[in-house]
Structure 1
Amino acid sequence: MFGLILIYVGLVLINNGLAGVIGFDKKATAVLNLICGCIIFFFNVVSAVLLVTSGAQSTSFFGPAVGFLFAITYFFLFANTVFSLDVRPFGYFCLFVCINALIAAYLDKANLYALLIWIAWAFFWFLGFVECSLNKSLGKFSSYVAIAEGIFTGWLPGLLILLGLWSW
């Protein structure tokens, strides 16, 4: 399931990044944010249900917990775009997710690639905090980071997992 989720993480990051670089209407990204958020949410619910029914230890739920943070990110982006909400709460949410991503990086420290991916995601969420809550414009930098992270932390790892060429 994780490879499938990563494909959609990559897709939405690339799309959101292109919106910032090319300059098309961000409302055009809202639908894809909603769709990807729903897909990610669904598969994390399935994962959590499988863990519950198997009698897994509470530590096993960290994966779905951070997975839900991804889904909420895309739901939040959808709502902010469609309803023109104040983005400061989203920025503080990004800081919270950044901290959790750093914890995940520490937990995945034995897997160098997973560690680097979590650090990259933490960095990107930190950029969200800087731009949205601190109101510091980073120009198109965040958009370029979104595209790069979409390719190298989402789409390609997801594809490699689905093809059986890499395991997280």
Structure 2
Amino acid sequence: MSNVGLLYVGAVLFLNGLMLLGKISAKSAGIFNLFVGSLQVITPVYLIFTAHSMQDIFRASGIFLFGFTYLYVGVSNLTNTEGSGVGWYSFWVAVLALCYSLADFTYFKDFKFGIIWLMWAFLWFLFYLLLAQNRDIGVFTGWVTLIESWVTCTIPAFLSMTGLWNDIGLTETWIVTVVVVMLFFGLFFWTKGKHASVHTASL
């Protein structure tokens, strides 16, 4: 994914997480979802048209998963549409994200992004449970979204643009992964019974 695009995915996840926690309105977040969604559709189109291999096309294709999610969320929020469609779309994307993760682990040998794709798959699955199955996990999902906005997007994008991403080894990757998973477990139990004021956002 384009590092600039990934940076702004972090921004939209940050806003959507705050929306789920009731800190900003759905319509306010919806506008920014349209901005980032448009960027994440235009970018892969350019990358595909200028690609030199099927590997480049495959890499670019994953960006559409984000772009269409944010456009869908933006339009839904601004028109006050109920979120079941976004929820079921999130289920489909979660399955695809697992496939991208498997490709990174096995074919591309990119361990770090293999883990990141797994985290994204988990987040999309939470939105499926929240929006399509109406599970009362809005607060938990909001916190997971906030955390992933930094761990899977903002920080990797910034490190990549500064040339430091390749300096992150397997040891550091495992440590961060274990800490984040433990934090998710803790947040799940801490947020039980807490109700979110907004249930219309997604990634």
TM over 0.5: yes
Amino acid at match of 1:16: N
Q: Report deviation, 1:22.
A: 4.1
2:153 is the counterpart of 1:157: no
What residue in structure 1 maps to residue 104 of structure 2? Answer: 108
The separation in 2 between residues aligned to 1:70 and 1:22, in whole angstroms, is: 23
SS at match of 2:74: helix
> What do residues 68-118 of structure 1 show as CA deviations (whole Å, max 9, x unaligned)?
110000001001101122311111110111011000110111222111100
The separation in 2 between residues aligned to 1:139 and 1:20, in whole angstroms, is: 6
TM-score (norm 2): 0.76
What residue in structure 1 maps to residue 23 of structure 2? Answer: 23
Q: Report deviation, 1:151.
A: 0.4
What residue in structure 1 maps to residue 14 of structure 2? Answer: 14
The separation in 2 between residues aligned to 1:84 and 1:63, in whole angstroms, is: 33
> What do residues 19-59 of structure 1 show as CA deviations (whole Å, max 9, x unaligned)?
222432111101110111111111111101102xx4x33x5
Show structure 1 runs of 4+ deviating over 3 A: none
Percent identity, please: 28
User: Residue 34 of structure 2 contacts residue 74 of structure 2 at CA under 8 Å; is this kept in 1?
Assistant: yes
User: Residue 21 of structure 2 contacts residue 138 of structure 2 at CA under 8 Å; is this kept in 1?
Assistant: no
TM-score (norm 1): 0.91
SS at match of 1:113: helix
What residue in structure 2 maps to residue 90 of structure 1? Answer: 86
The separation in 1 between residues aligned to 2:142 and 2:13, in whole angstroms, is: 9
> What do residues 109-166 of structure 1 show as CA deviations (whole Å, max 9, x unaligned)?
1222111100000000000110111111203111101110000001000001111112
The separation in 2 between residues aligned to 1:89 and 1:21, in whole angstroms, is: 21
What residue in structure 2 maps to residue 37 of structure 1? Answer: 37
| Structure 1 segments unaligned to the other structure (5+ residues) | none
Cα RMSD (Å): 1.6
The separation in 2 between residues aligned to 1:45 and 1:114, in whole angstroms, is: 21
Kindly name which structure, 1 or 2, has the bigger radius of gyration based on alpha carbons. Answer: 2
Task: Indicate the structure whose relative CO is greater, using CA pairs within 8 Å and at least 6 residues apart.
Answer: 1
The separation in 1 between residues aligned to 2:32 and 2:149, in whole angstroms, is: 14
Amino acid at match of 1:138: I
